[in-house]
Chain A
Amino acid sequence: GAGVSQSPSNKVTEKGKDVELRCDPISGHTALYWYRQSLGQGLEFLIYFQGNSAPDKSGLPSDRFSAERTGGSVSTLTIQRTQQEDSAVYLCASSLTGLAGGPNEQYFGPGTRLTVT
């Protein structure tokens, strides 16, 4: 598995339920990012992890959204009490380093398509 993997690929949930989305970054990549892609809105930054530093959570749209990264590798994005407006594709990306000053090319996974009914 050379690329970023995400699971599940599709998730349908009822309004009000909690969901967990998983991301496995490329091995050795220290930086991990979550984005949301909605129809007509483009990609929206959610959260960024770099090594053991405190994550940049400035893009999370509400306190119903949270994410963690365990052991500097796998990350889980949790959405509590889902709403219909949370329906989107959630994309994870990783880069070799997240240090400022370089392009830090981000490699994206295939995304999780979330539908809230």
Chain B
Amino acid sequence: QKEVEQDPGPLSVPEGAIVSLNCTYSNSAFQYFMWYRQYSRKGPELLMYTYSSGNKEDGRFTAQVDKSSKYISLFIRDSQPSDSATYLCAMKKGNNRLAFGKGNQVVVIP
């Protein structure tokens, strides 16, 4: 079993819809939970990170962590065509390697 599971299926939504992405993990030692956005032929860029269970909001983006269920989510409200990208969840233990999910390709249709 991989440490981080992210169903890699593509997701197409109409502009303005809410995008919902999630990851599960198996290692309770993970402390930091991150979401990266990766445009085609570019490196990933950090969107946001959370440390504890609960919600964290940044503009149209909300990250949610449920440590008891080992489940994290990212919600994108009022999705825009510019949100079309691959979204990767990543997690970090005490050391500095990040464990990544496989990523979800999101397409927002105008």
Contacts and interface: CB of A to CB of B under 8 A. Distances in A.
Contacts, number: 66
Given A42-B88, A42-B101, A43-B88, A110 B42 contact: yes
A107 B34 CA distance: 13
B92 interface: yes
Interface residues of A, number: 30
Contacts of B51: 103
B96 A48 contact: yes
A110 B103 CA distance: 17
Nearest to A110: B43
B43 A105 contact: no
A43 B100 contact: yes
B60 interface: no
Contacts of A27: none
A45 B42 contact: no
Nearest to A108: B43
Contacts of A33: 96-98
A40 B8 contact: yes
A107 B46 contact: yes
Interface in B31-63: 32, 34, 36, 41-46, 49, 51
23 contacts: A4-B43, A31-B96, A33-B96, A33-B98, A35-B98, A40-B8, A42-B88, A42-B102, A43-B88, A43-B98, A45-B98, A50-B96, A59-B97, A93-B43, A98-B96, A103-B49, A103-B92, A104-B92, A106-B98, A107-B46, A108-B36, A108-B45, A111-B43
Q: Which 8 A-B pairs have the closest CB atoms?
A: A108-B43, A42-B102, A43-B100, A45-B97, A100-B94, A103-B32, A98-B96, A42-B100
